[in-house]
Amino acid sequence: MEKVILIAADNQERVQQLMEKLGQAGYKVTHALNYSEVVAALQRTNADLLLMDSKLPGMSHFNLVQRLTGRREQIPIIVIGNDGSDEAIQALESGAHDYIPNEWDTRELLARISNLLRLFQTGRKEQDEIIRIGDLAIDPLCRNVTRENETLALTHREYDLLLFLARRQGQVCTREDILREVWDYDFHTGTNVVDVYILHLREKIDKGRRPKLLRTIRGIGYKLLSQDEIDANTKDRLP
């Protein structure tokens, strides 16, 4: 399948040069001019890699990099720099996966892109594996959820919330964590949307079933039991 690279830059000469080289290498290329256009483009298309200018308009102190690398579904990011080693350190500490100077060599850039795509492909295969917790099964590839072999009808957001908790099974997730990762909120708005969706999810996955998988940790947040916790609880109940 053809890989899609999103170029984020407002320097037209640089953009044209990159689009030409990447197109010749067999990539499909899209373009965004600023911070807002990058966010919109990533919501609209399934880009495989982001190649961005360190001076992208609308970005401050690589806050776009921090936002994207904090998402539940990450995209590899290469920053094309302008100001040397200090800037490279800042970009990498903000979460960028690679940094290449302004005077880049085409072969080196293509090698770095290929390497990152390969690494992320391996990680995505692992993320696509079916998650099993007791009699609950979550298939990320087809977004299908079953419990006791019964298919559960979840909304898009309910599924995202369940998957987030399942990938952190046994860990307590705060409301702030959930708002940031599932709703993409950068701050706590005072909304009770997390509590409402937890209630809906509990009705669908736990009502009338044992054990109860979704737990409230009073004053902190929520968690989904891990398989180890289920096994331990079952062992404790044995005569």
91 touches 65 (CB < 8 A): yes
Total domains in the chain come to 2
Residue 9 CA to residue 57 CA, distance in Å, equals 8
SS3 (DSSP) at 26: coil
> For position 71, what pLDDT does the model report?
66
Residues 155 and 62 in one domain: no
Between the CA of residue 120 and those of 75, 89, 127, 133, what are the distances in Å?
A: 8, 22, 10, 25
Residues 24 and 105 in one domain: yes
Confidence band for 234, pLDDT divided at 50, 70 and 90: confident
> For position 141, what pLDDT does the model report?
77
* Amino acid identity for residue 180 in this structure: R
Q: How many CA atoms lie within 13 A of 6 on its CB side?
A: 22
Residue 31 CA to residue 29 CA, distance in Å, equals 7
Average pLDDT of 95-117?
91
Q: Which residues touch 170 (CB under 8 Å, ≥6 apart)?
A: 223, 224, 225, 226, 228, 229
Average pLDDT of 92-116?
91
Residues 142 and 122 in one domain: no
Residues 191 and 82 in one domain: no
Residues 110 and 148 in one domain: no
Confidence band for 235, pLDDT divided at 50, 70 and 90: low
pLDDT tens column, 100-110: 988 888 999 99
Q: Which tokens sit at 215?
A: 């737990």
Q: What percent of the chain has pLDDT over 90?
A: 60
Q: Which residues touch 41 (CB under 8 Å, ≥6 apart)?
A: 6, 30, 32, 47
Q: Is the pLDDT of residue 92 over 80?
A: yes
Rounded to the nearest integer, the mean pLDDT of the chain is: 88
Residue 47 CA to residue 6 CA, distance in Å, equals 6
pLDDT tens column, 35-58: 999 999 988 888 999 999 999 999
Residues 16 and 107 in one domain: yes
Average pLDDT of 88-93?
92
Residues 119 and 192 in one domain: no
Confidence band for 112, pLDDT divided at 50, 70 and 90: very high
> For position 203, what pLDDT does the model report?
95
Residues 84 and 196 in one domain: no
pLDDT tens column, 123-142: 565 566 789 999 999 998 78
> For position 182, what pLDDT does the model report?
86
Residues 20 and 70 in one domain: yes
Residues 77 and 94 in one domain: yes
Average pLDDT of 23-31?
94
Residues 18 and 103 in one domain: yes
Residue 181 CA to residue 67 CA, distance in Å, equals 10
Q: What is the CATH number of the domain that holds 63?
A: 3.40.50.2300
Select from 67, 93, 127 the last residue of a domain: 127
Q: What is the CATH number of the domain that holds 189?
A: 1.10.10.10
Residues 116 and 156 in one domain: no
Short-list 126, 133, 131, CA closest to 144:
131
| Domain that residue 145 falls in | 131-237
73 touches 42 (CB < 8 A): no
Most confident of the ranges 53-57, 66-70, 190-194 = 53-57
Select from 89, 105, 127 the last residue of a domain: 127
Confidence band for 237, pLDDT divided at 50, 70 and 90: low
* Size (the chain), residues: 239
Instruction: Give, in degrees to the nearest 5, the angle at Cα 136 between 134 and 141.
Output: 130
Select from 107, 127, 147 the last residue of a domain: 127
